A and B are shown apart, each in its own frame.
Chain A
Amino acid sequence: MKMGTSITRFSLNRPWLVTGLMIAFTLSLALLATLPTIWPHTFKGLNPLKVDTDPENMLPEDEPVRIFHNSMKKEMALYDMLVVGIVNESNPDGVFNPQSLRNIYELTEYAKSLHWSDKENPDKEIGVIEIDLIAPSTVDNIEQGGLGSVRFEWLMASPPTTKEQALAIRKKAQRIPFLNGTLISEDGKAICLYLPLTSKDISYKIYSKLQEKIDTLSGNEQYYITGLPVAEDTFGVEMFKQMAISAPLAMLIIFLLLFFFFRKLIVIVSPMIVAMVSVICTMGLLIITGNTVHIMSSMIPIFIMPIAVLDAVHILSDFFDRYQETKDQEKTVIKVMETLFTPMLYTSLTTAVGFASLALTPIPPVQIFGLFIAFGVMIAWAFTVTFIPAFIMFIPKKSLENFGTFADKNKNESQSILTRFLTLLGRLTFKRAKLVMGITGVFVVIAVYGISQIKINDNPIKWFNPTHPIRIADKVLNEHFGGTYMGYLAFQAQTSKDLPKYADELSKQIDKAANSLKSELPAVPAVFEALKSQTTYIIKSVSSKKELLQQLAAFADKRIQKATMQEYDAWDEAILFLDRQRQADEVFKQPQVLNYIAGVQKRLLTTGVVGKSNSLADIVKTVYRELLQGDPQNFKIPDTVNAVAQCLMTYQNSHRPQDLWHFVTPDYTKTVLWVQLKSGDNMDMAKVVKAMDEYIAANPPPVNLKHQWFGLTYINVVWQNKMVTGMLEAFLESFLIVLLMMIILYRSALWGILSMIPLTVTIGLIYGFIGLVGKDYDMPVAVLSSLSLGLAVDYAIHFLSRARQLREGFNSWAETAAPVFGEPARAIARNVIVIGVGFLPLLAAPLVPYQTVGVFIAAILLTAGIASLLILPSMITILEKWLFPKTKKASLTCNCTTCFVIAALAAALVAMNIHDFFGVGWNKLTWFGLMAVIVFVIACNMASGRKKCKTEAMMDS
């Protein structure tokens, strides 16, 4: 209490100094952040503002799934794609009419030109990757070209001029599995262009340029642009608009509500200043320290504002109620701060702890988010306890004349309504305490059921409103096509590393080959024998199968140079034999493996989420069919490895041979299935992953293959899983810390636990509600658990602290209840209304995560407020004799139970941290914990049994 008073006195005596320091501190942080952002070259040493909207960064760079994703993307030359859909609803042939196709051609030509050299790295081109663009004019058609011939041609070399030509293009594309459902819709009405991008962060730029071009095209086609990269990049752009509109709007509403309650402009300016300054300091520090403004960190201002205003509202509310008693600013402030300093310190600390615990999640942006909010909360606290008293001193006495409860008594109807309502509530909790608790119990049961119904899901496209062009595009295109969300399923051949075993095998193969050839070529036995002895000779000096075969091939190449006419053919056969051995590892040319892949594709289609998949098997089947008169019966994998290889060689005579390497590596040891999902919901992707794991386990591949997913849609699933478990752990840990703090604050385990009940009920109800209404448990919802923890406990702290203070002046709770439901309850109610309503403007936001945050902040505050005002007094009524025992003021260590609970909590926290940071398993920790508990029981028993405690107790009684 002493520290509180001296801080208040200091601020009251030197208001100018306090204000000046605050302004200087804020300005310097703001300048350090803005200067390098505006003039990056002048201030090279400082960090400019960096924006990052990439959900990939939800996982650390070195996360295995990201490493795999990036290496496969590079190896298969796969890029993030922007999808442009063109639909024509007015023409019976859809877009397959000369006019629409001409527009599509023109748009494609324009898209091809959308690349430029990188400013930072002039040798590098960025933009659309022209060679991999998928459009009617850039893909090949393979088909029968008349009797006994096969034809490769551009699907649409130039726009058609007649209806028949336009329809012919559709017919051709529908025959090619790779194009049907991908380039053209299954109903033959729409076309999708796929624009691969050098990097995701240029999507919005390309998106805007395409929109400009589309506006110049005449015709009755509709254009839709979508794809995960554009959603993510557009989110970044809109995020800033959002921050510029919603945050100030929320400020404005809070301001108006404060004005409604306190009716003094000059008084309510101060909480606004505190909120603003706290936001500036936190965001400034975020930028200065080189952290990026991510989807998460962009929400920092919205989270800090209510918390920053919260404490100030308590002070003002109290000041408002008490000022008319003395009409002395200084005295009133000192009195107000005496009662409020400790609760405010604790509420701020608990809020900070709640957020700081997010640092324990394995998701870097969430860690940053948590830590900086914790910082912001403490900054807000510091400014509240120093600047608000200082500010009150600046107010001329004259303008406070008709300020406060007494002056308002007759005028303010609503105020008295609130007061009357609260008085009623107070009586209810006293007279019907058991009923209140019974109803609470019913709610809790419903909530628990709701929580069990929670659906964990997220989808970056759904971050936009249903009316946003990206959402509409997503909906329309996924109705027409196999799906615009791409997931990739990689298969990798696992070859044996046992070299001596392979050498044995090779020798046997040499004998076998020699036997089958010797009747034809008499020189074969001698030549193959030479090969065999060379194998045994070099086997010790080579380290891999590849090296062995390479050296043998080099040996044979040397020998054929000097070979006689008779030997030449035999050596030629030997070289051919060795090459065949080398190719034996090219497993994805083997018919049974390709048929297996085709089986996997078939299973994918039955998941209900996958609209289509593309694979190497499809390419082989298509080429084979067209080589055999285009007969649909021949749409299958040919019977031999060589036949597959020759189909693939034929395929490479097209305009785009490089397309093959998007599906398989040139050594044919890795293949990738392009899986088109109709939904980007993590839940749906997870469903596909699970189904395929089960399928592959039940149907093992013919050779040893390892399967693994990658692609943005899959990465989202991985970080979401991490987030859910991470958040739960962080929440449990912060819950324990806050409980520990509460016990220490109240010097009692019972009081500590009591203060945690409203927040537990609040969180239960909120998440139960989420489960019941079927709202997805996504990123913002997960993060809100820390916010509810931090905020809900605040009301309990304020309520219980005041209740205890007031109880000292009375003999029983019956007498205390009425005053508690006076000024203290009013402060809580005002808080709930101001901040809860203040965040409702977020509902108007075009970005869904912000809407979620807005709704839930309001809901959490309301629930927490009601829960605190109902549950706490009811429980105090029921538990009065334990909460206010006759023997008071025994020291903390004298209360055996409290001492034990503190020790056990501390032990649990230590165990959780050891588990998190040192990876020690729970099994070991459980034993360790059990041991610790026994030790604590003994220690606590001894401590509370000591002489000093007994004498204290005796004296009290």
Chain B
Amino acid sequence: MSYIKLESISKSFKDDKVIQGLNAEINKGEFFVIFGPSGSGKTVLLRLLSGILLPDSGEIKMENAVINDLHPEERDVSMAFQNFALYPHMKAYENIASPLKANNISQDEIDSKVKEIANLLKIDHVLNQYPKELSNGQKQRTSLARSLVNRPSVVLLDDPLRNVDAKIRFEMRLELPKVLKEFNTTVIYISQDYREAMALADRIAVLYDGKFNDIDLPKNIYEKPSSLTTAKLFGDPTINNFNAVISKNENRVIAECNGEKIILQRKTSIENGECIVGIRPEDINLSNQQTEESLKVEFRTKTPLNLRIVFLVKLSNGLELLCSMSEEEAKNIKEKEQLYVSFKEDKCLFFDAITKRNLE
């Protein structure tokens, strides 16, 4: 059953239509990630949910009750800010205790709840320090603790791992889902790192120019994006794409691009004609051996990336392709000799040349 429901929410600032008619249903206990490039309206959307901003039109429902006009303090949501937004004149302990104090809870109970969450997030040793005395990682944990201490039914996290270094980010990627599961909280999480989104999310909503492009499981979004825009947002290096004319014979799909015939795969459901072909760098085979389906390429450079090796190669028609592979696989490639590429079976994506929608 859907727990939070967005019904054609819109928000503009002057002439700038930041959010344009969003619809979504979020389930109870779900880890829902809103992913989008900077400027896509993520933060504004989160502020609409928290009540800091009010939508121009549309309805936000929680458990079927419209909460559009409720003030932030009247909504059963909590939030962790990207810039932490800790109270500089209060110690970590008081920062965390703040949501409890708003609810007239006894001092003993406050104390035990603060200590419990601090223990869980491993900040029990810094409770007596002021925010400026905390490291970035500790600030981030304090801000998370504050948003979770009252066990809210919904917690909004605004890119909380953005401002911490890689080490803490990965620690938190492992720890955060565990902590949140324990609290059985519905999480709406903002990220502009697609890996973080895929790692954490039950479902991802891809926000682009104020609209949801896709709302789906991480794996589906990666493998079957609804449009080229989404496909480009997921994957590093970005998906290779080129305009081509597709033709099919009995057991081959052939793309003609700048006078070169490229054999893509064996079958596809799309019609013959012009389209954009997308192929992920890890779905291209690069080797020194020529096969029936492979094409000659010229080697340009290779660069290491995210524990993998990325090759930039150029087809004779001028088309550049990025191919990525593991370090072990890369050891077998002799870049001084002739190289050939072929496409892995059934991995090509086909997009409409004009609308950029996925054709399959």
Binding partners A and B? no
B contact set with A: CB distance below 8 Å: none
Residue ranges of A at the interface with B (Cβ–Cβ < 8 Å): none
